[in-house]
Amino acid sequence: MSELDRDGGCLCGSVRFTAHLRSPTFGACHCGMCRKFAGGPFLAIGTAGVDWHQDADLRTYDSSAWAERGFCGRCGSSLFYRIKGNGMTIVAFGALDDPRGLTLAREVFIDERPDAYCFAGDLKGLTGAELMAKAGG
């Protein structure tokens, strides 16, 4: 396994995967949909692909015209966000077995962050509109 390959899975252990991370940095999304999906800010890390070792209980939810979200149908753990068009998969940071060596570097939809909390540190932040402009609409 390379340094950027990380094993992960859901709470009950039914869904297991190896994520091939693009970089050791990850982001937080404060949008209202992610908040519902993850039960708080969605901490997630970009991948160049995911190998699913056990996925019989893996379920997806069509959350928008362009993306779907994955979760365990048995224990309910939030597992990923995936762009339908290109299959790009962003896995839940919390699903990784070993989070050591990874750094929170950016946050998006900062305009939707509840004022009840905020992350410390010097993070790059984008509003929802800035993110959409960057993603090309």
Q: Is 16 in the site for Zn ion (CB under 5 A)?
A: no
Which residue number, 4 or 59, has a Cβ lying nearer to Zn ion? 59
| Strand 42-54 versus strand 58-62 pairing type | unpaired
Site pattern 23..42 for Zn ion (x: CB under 5 A): ------x-x--x--------
Task: Determine the Cα–Cα distance for residues 98 and 52; give it in Å rounded to an integer.
Answer: 17
* Residue 97 DSSP label: S
Options 4, 67, 75, 83; binder of Zn ion; rule CB under 5 A:
75
10: closest CA among 100, 101, 83, 96? 96
Using the rule CB under 5 A, which residue among 38, 45, 72, 95 binds Zn ion? Answer: 72
What would you measure as the largest C-alpha separation in the chain, in angstroms? 40
Q: Site residues (CB under 5 A) for Zn ion?
A: 10, 12, 14, 29, 31, 34, 72, 74-75
